[in-house]
Amino acid sequence: MRDSHFEYFKTIVGDNDCFNDEAHIQAYCYDATRERAYPKYVVFPHNEDEVSKILRYCNDNLISVVPRGAGSGFTGGALPVNGGVVLALEKHMNKILEIDMENMVARVEPGVINAHLQKEVESLGLFYPPDPASEQYSTIGGNVSENAGGMRAAKYGITKDFVMALRAVLPNGDIIRAGKKTIKDVAGYNIAGILIASEGTLGVITEITLKLLAKPKFSQSAMGIFPSIDSAMNAVYKTMASGVTPVAMEFLDNLSIRAVESKFHKGLPVDAGAILITEVDGSLQEDIDYQIKKIEEKFYENGAINFIKAQNSEEAENLWFARKNASQSITIYGSKKLNEDITVPRASLPKLLSKIQEVSDKYGVIIPCFGHTGDGNVHTNVIVNGGDENELKKGHQAIEEIFKITIELGGTLSGEHGIGISKAPFMKLAFNECEMNLFRSIKKAFDPNNILNPGKMAL
């Protein structure tokens, strides 16, 4: 039997960029959640015009469309839970269109990989700060759709702070531009602002204009070793409130330190309650020295037992090794890791971490924590034996309790991973009925037929 939808998509993108075979369906049914949802079609558009034609057709025929970058999201944003079309943007729409040195702006297609852009602009003396852990494979389109963060957010902010303008296709096929290559633009509603972090539910982003900075000439890293997690968390917020703004202020708790050490034998301080790893940057060596000194002071004031300064880039890399390998190392504690990215106001970090310890004790699950404490963002990892139904249930109960604590402390369910399907059940903890109704009205304003990435964000 002829599949008329499939035939139509082929007329738009060509026979070699439109598939419904098992290999493609398997290749585009997953993301970093390891959940699976099967598309009916996998389509690789070449440009905005093709995206527009496909969306218009799907809107008319009520076919679901899920835009997809690298599929590296942690909450199921790229999973086609209603089947339909996966619109895969990484194959053809992956070009850096312009690096405008005079205005310090880059214009890119959504499929450009974050690290490629960083490398390209750095070769010109410029700097694109957002550096999600997935930077080697995640795409700028995905970063914008989830509003990705990264280690440098403490000083430089997150993806949204760098998006100046977007082009996008609405579910009905309309092509819109939002924002300008200008620092200021207050004409019309801030459409770019609402497309960012909308997880592909409002429009398909086809072009992104990003602000660039000048690459700072100097940087230095350091590590503080703390007797307890409480002393480390106090040091974080007191340092940040002292007027110095490190690029990054990352932490590992004792469980995370031990995990990395047992796997890599780097001589880490396995008896420490926590370590903080930090980096500062600037255009003058004097400024670097000033910042490092200030951080050292604040760390010692808050009980640090040691403060190690990297004297060169090799030593810096050594200091960062623990942080960069924490995520993979903590799998030594169990077969399944339920990782979340809760975020609280920085001054609530001590309380958050002590409450997480209580949850760990209460449910008898271990919860290694590490993350971006400079901006209050903690990666909590509830570790369970995946094969044990009872333990899995306890793990999920522990997570629900951690979410409740986070909200009580004025925090958010997600600092950088988004909601997708994984956190959709918890939206009711964070938003009241009025707020959920408003989300649904906005979704309807953009996508009245609910064809674009349906089933996400508890809409």
Sites for a second copy among residues 127-156 (CB under 8 A): 146-147, 149, 153-154
Nearer to a second copy, 91 or 444 (CB): 444
Spell 292-305 as b/e; 16+ CB within 10 A means b. bebbbebbeebbbe
Q: Which of 86, 178, 233, 280 binds a second copy (CB under 8 A)?
A: 178
* Distance, CA of 386 to CA of 204 (rounded, Å): 36
Cα three-residue angle 189-201-104, rounded to 5 degrees: 55
Binding mask 337-356 for a second copy (x = CB under 8 A): ------xxxxx---------
Q: Are 160 and 211 in contact (CB under 8 A)?
A: no
Of the pair 201, 254, the CB lying nearest a second copy is at: 201
Tallying the residues shown for the chain, one arrives at 459
Q: Which residue, 124 or 270, is less far from a second copy as judged by CB?
A: 124
Task: By CB under 8 A, tell whether 290 contacts a second copy.
Answer: yes
- Nearer to a second copy among residue 237 and residue 363 (C-beta): 237
Q: How far apart are CA 407 and CA 431, in angstroms?
A: 10
Q: From the CB of 184, what's the least distance to a second copy, in Å?
A: 4
Among 456, 416, 402, 332, which Cα is nearest to 68's?
456
Residue 277: which H helix or E strand, with range?
Answer: strand 274-282
Could you say whether residue 457 binds a second copy (CB under 8 A)?
Answer: yes
Q: Does 122 bind a second copy (CB under 8 A)?
A: no
User: What is the spatial distance between Cα 415 and Cα 155, in angstroms, rounded to a whole number?
Assistant: 15
Q: Which is nearer to a second copy, 211 or 394 (CB)?
A: 211
The yes or no reply on residue 76 touching a second copy (CB under 8 A) is no
**Nearest-5° Cα angle at 113, 109 to 117:** 80
| Residues in region 374-433 near a second copy by CB under 8 A | 375-377, 410-419, 423, 427, 430-432
How near is the Cβ of 216 to a second copy at its closest, in Å? Answer: 8
Strands 175-179, 163-169: pairing is: antiparallel
**According to CB under 8 A, which residues from 261 to 280 bind a second copy?**
none
Least separation in angstroms between CB 151 and a second copy: 12
Query: Binding residue for a second copy (CB under 8 A) from 10, 92, 181, 351?
Result: 181
**Angle, alpha carbons 448-60-437 (nearest 5°):** 10
Positions 183 through 242 that interact with a second copy (CB under 8 A): 183-191, 193-194, 196-198, 202, 214-215, 237-238, 240-242
Q: SS3 for 133?
A: coil
